[in-house]
Each structure stands twice: as structure tokens, then as C-alpha cells.
Amino acid sequence: MPKRVLPLTDVQVRNAKPQTKEYKLADGGGLYLLVTPTGGKLWRFDYRHNDKRKTLAFKTYPEISLADARQRRDDARKLVANGVDPGEVKRAQKAIEQAQAETFKTVTLEWYGQKKADWSDNHAERILRRLELDIFPAIGDKPIADIRTPELVNLLERVAVRTLETAHRLKIACDMVFRYAVIKGKSEQNPAASLRGVLPTVKPKHMAAPTEPKAVAELIRAIDAFSGSFVTKCALQLAPMLFVRPGELRAAEWPEFDLDAAVWNIPGHKMKMKQPHLVPLPRQAVDILKELFNLTGGGKYVFPCHRSPLRCMSENTVNASLRRLGFDKEEITGHGFRAMARTMLHEILQFTPDGIEAQLAHAVPDRLGRAYNRTQHLAERKKMMQSWADYLDGLKSGARVIPFKRVSSAT
């Protein structure tokens, strides 16, 4: 006759000590406590299914008490008696729980964490903010495997009523998230794959910007008379003068500047094309930055947020200040200063497109097929930046500025 196993007591379980090798304390009916050399106490249940010996884990003590472990053993024995493998049941339940835990938001944040290193800080921030505002409140807590195409269509159509361009950007982001989910085994389908043609086409538009000298003179004089924050005023003055992207300007950090050498070295991770960029500084910009350094030079950012110096200026600050000056979004935007400079530098000051494109940090190869690098056309760009600042000063003072003769291309 098999040896009778006496049931365990709570005291035995609680006082079980680790030994040099793992050992078992049997409770009966296939249930036992496995004590490991490191002091772990693991509940296990041995059973047979289809003539095979199997073991089922019931987690650990004291997370699972002796009474709870016995209840789980009894439930498992009932399944075995009915020809059901309790191990398969447990795996199926775990898969359901895992699918429910893989919500659209959790998968999106996992995808975002891997992708943001490939983007500029400004681009990454915009993508996450769009998702937080328009997508997460509606489907963020829903299991990603349960989301269907009609649900996405309704969601994007509601966003499109407010702004069609944002709806298109969200459609692209959702498609990337679902493709990631399929690759990682978190969803069996990509409901965003069928959204082509769902939204109306966005009509291309140019960034609002004046290009007539008279209008530009009015804008520069208005900026010079700005009566708000001194930090904001400096940003407004430098925006048309340096014509970098708004995100690059507001996130500028003092260690990037060498005011003695009159250069601003923007690191690659801040640039749209992920390439470091050099901005020659005209003397007017150096004067503004030296004065600003007395106020914000003790911190990280050249243009810190007024609420916290640990963050840079809000992306809305420059545009909001232009509206405060009386210029609406159809007249000028922060990004529009780039279009303004590009047009006037070529058509009025007659600098070469190669030098202008290089200073704009556009990924356009030169005539010899060489890709952009930070020192390309540097001699011409230094001359161009100073001429441009002088030209803006002349407009501001009301002087009649005569266009320069066309300059030769510099390499």
C-alpha cells in the first residue's frame, strides 16, 4: 500500500527552512510545497493527463496560502476528472489576460519609446501630444486586438472636422502602431491598413510669410517694439534673423553657442535630418544673445519656459506673440520666417540657392551630388547671414536698401 501522506499545517509551511538542495513537503492529492535553496516556497500540483505526468504551478507562499493552494488543487483535480488539462486552461486564461493588458495606449507607448530616438525632440513631442489629445481618450484603454477599422474611421473623421492635417498625421501614426503590434504578436490584424482614401486630401499650403520689403519692414519694426517678456522679445528678434526651425530656436541651449567665434552648433538629434547644423551668427544676433545671457545664462536653455527654467519655451510662444502684435496666422507664423528669408535672400539679395538651402539645413545635394554637411558653402553662408541681418536693420530704419550683385557659388 502507498504510504499515507499527512496533510501539511500552516506552521510547517511557515517554518520550512531552505537546505543545500531543493526539497518537497507533500500535502496530498498531488499538492506539495517546493522549498528552494534560496528560501523560495513554491506551490506545485502533479497530475496525469493522457497518460502523461504533468506539473502545474500555483505561485508562491505566502502569496498563496495553504488553504488557497488546496482549493486550487481541488479545482484542478475536477478538470482532470472531466478529461480537461488544467495546464491548458491556465495557459488560455493567461493569454486572455495578456491580451486585455495590451491596450492601445500601452502598445503605443512601447512603440513610441523605440521610435522617438529616430526623431527630433520637437517631432516626438508633437506626435505624443496628438495621440494624448485625440486618440488615447477614445481607445487608449481598449485592448489593441479588439480595435476595428470602423472605430478608427469614426475617430479620425471627428478629428478631421477640426483639422484635416492632424487627422492625416494621426492616421499615419495609428498605422505604424498597429503594424508594430502585429510584428510583436500583440494583435493579429492592422485595422488602419484599410484607411487609404478615407480622409479628404490635404491641399498643400505654404507657410504664411511676407516677402515684400514694405511688409517685412512693418513686421520687424513691430517686433522691435514688443513690450512683453524680454526673453520672448529676443526670440522674436532672432527668429527672422537666423530663420532656423521654430523647434530648434526654442530648444537652443547655451553650451551650443560660441559667441566669441559667432557660431551656433546645433547637435544632430535636434535637427529634422538628424545631421548637426552650423549657424553663423551676425553681429546683431551676438549682441542680442550677450544681453540675454545676463538673464538666462545661468540655466540650460537660452529661452527657458517662464513657468519652469528646466523646460524650454513653449512652441506656442512665438506664434502667440505675433498674434499679440496684430499679425494673424495668414500673415506670418514662426515657421514662415524661413520662407521669408529663402525668397528674399534669393530674389532681392541675390544669394545662390545652394548657399540658402545649406543654411536652411535642407537635405538637397549640391551640383556635384554631395549631400549636405554642416560646413558646406560656409564662407558664403557667413557673408549671407551678416548681409541678411544688415538688410533687416535697413528695412527697420526705413533706409532704401539696394540689392547686392549676384554672388558666386562658394564651396
Catalytic residue among 169, 171, 186, 245, which? Answer: 245
Our measurement of the distance from residue 232's CA atom to the centroid of its chain's CA atoms, rounded to an integer in Å, reads 25
Q: Which of 77, 126, 179, 335 is catalytic?
A: 335
Question: How many Cα atoms sit within 13 Å of 320 on the Cβ side?
Answer: 8
Q: Is 362 a catalytic residue?
A: yes
CA distance 159 to 132: 13
Catalytic pick among 61, 180, 301, 372: 372
70 noted as active-site residue? no
Distances (CA, A) of 197 to 127, 166, 171, 193, 194: 22, 15, 11, 11, 9
The dihedral over CA atoms of 145, 149, 150, 153, expressed in degrees to the nearest 10, equals 120
Catalytic hit among 338, 342, 377, 381: 338
3-state class of 48 per DSSP?
A: strand
Query: How far is 55 from 52, CA to CA, in rounded Å?
Result: 10
Query: What SS3 class is residue 232?
Result: helix
Adjacent-strand bridge partners of 34 = 24, 42
Measured distance CA(352)–CA(376) in Å, rounded: 13
Render 248-262 in DSSP notation, one character per residue.
HHHT-BGGGEETTTT
- What one-letter code names the amino acid at 21? K
Q: Which amino acid is at 252?
A: A
Looking at 184-264, list the stretches that DSSP marks H as alpha helix, in order from N- to C-terminal side. 213-224, 230-242, 246-250
To the query of whether residue 4 is one of the catalytic residues in this protein, the response is no
Active site residue 377: no
Q: How many Å is the Cα radius of gyration of the chain? A: 33
Question: Among the options 77, 362, 374, 396, which is catalytic?
Answer: 362
Active site residues: 245, 272, 335, 338, 362, 372
